[in-house]
């Protein structure tokens, strides 16, 4: 199975850091929308493909623009929501990284499926959970991905999350390995 981790397109939260990082629920910028459109042309997808999407507006928008007019399966999953890398205290978390409530996603994006996991994970996400807890959830997530029996899965997530998963999967990584807007990394498991 191949996992293609993609960082979301440019969001409003990166325009004027550090203040903009506290913005709640930022959308994509016009540049971000164009980047997501570029993904559609550069990485064409089919109805057989599967997208797993972080529960934030900017990742959802990236995936929906990318898959526009392609009726492939799209599942929102909090185990690929924002994750600090390296892990800092909860007080260091940015406002822009608060996951959307499941009710909001269902109402605003009814075409998306929600991962069938315990409600607590939809409330807490993975941003600031202890490393050993993250490792347990990452293992569950990868096992779940394998159970879907897909040759390839596209995961639309965040730079810290992608780097944390790369580390979990055995790569030696640092913040220098962060991906830029719509950057991607392929992993074979």
End-to-end CA distance of the chain: 6
pLDDT number for residue 21: 87
Q: Whole domain around residue 106: which residue ranges?
A: 2-188
Residue-wise pLDDT for 126-140, tens only, equals 999 999 999 999 999
Supply the pTM of this predicted model: 0.95
> Domain containing 97 — which CATH number?
3.40.50.1240
Share of the chain above pLDDT 90, in %: 82
Q: For residue 87, is pLDDT > 80? A: no
Number of compact structural domains in the chain: 1
Residue-wise pLDDT for 126-180, tens only, equals 999 999 999 999 999 999 999 999 999 999 999 999 999 999 999 998 778 788 8
């Amino acid at each position: 199975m191949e996992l293609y981790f993609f960082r979301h397109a440019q969001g409003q939260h990166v325009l004027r850091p550090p203040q903009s990082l506290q913005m709640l629920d930022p959308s994509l910028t016009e540049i971000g929308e164009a980047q997501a459109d570029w993904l559609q042309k550069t990485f064409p997808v089919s109805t057989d493909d599967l997208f797993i999407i972080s529960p934030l507006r900017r990742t959802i928008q990236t995936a929906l623009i990318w898959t526009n007019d392609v009726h492939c399966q799209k599942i929102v999953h909090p185990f690929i929501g924002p994750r600090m890398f390296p892990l800092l205290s909860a007080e260091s978390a940015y406002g822009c990284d608060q996951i959307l409530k499941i009710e909001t996603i269902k109402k605003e994006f009814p075409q998306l499926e929600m991962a069938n996991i315990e409600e607590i994970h939809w409330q807490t996400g993975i941003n600031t959970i202890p490393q050993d807890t993250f490792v347990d959830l990452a293992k569950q997530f990868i096992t779940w991905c394998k159970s879907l029996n897909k040759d390839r899965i596209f995961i639309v997530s965040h730079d810290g999350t992608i780097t944390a998963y790369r580390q979990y999967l055995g790569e030696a990584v640092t913040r220098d390995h962060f991906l830029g807007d719509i950057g991607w990394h392929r992993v074979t498991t």
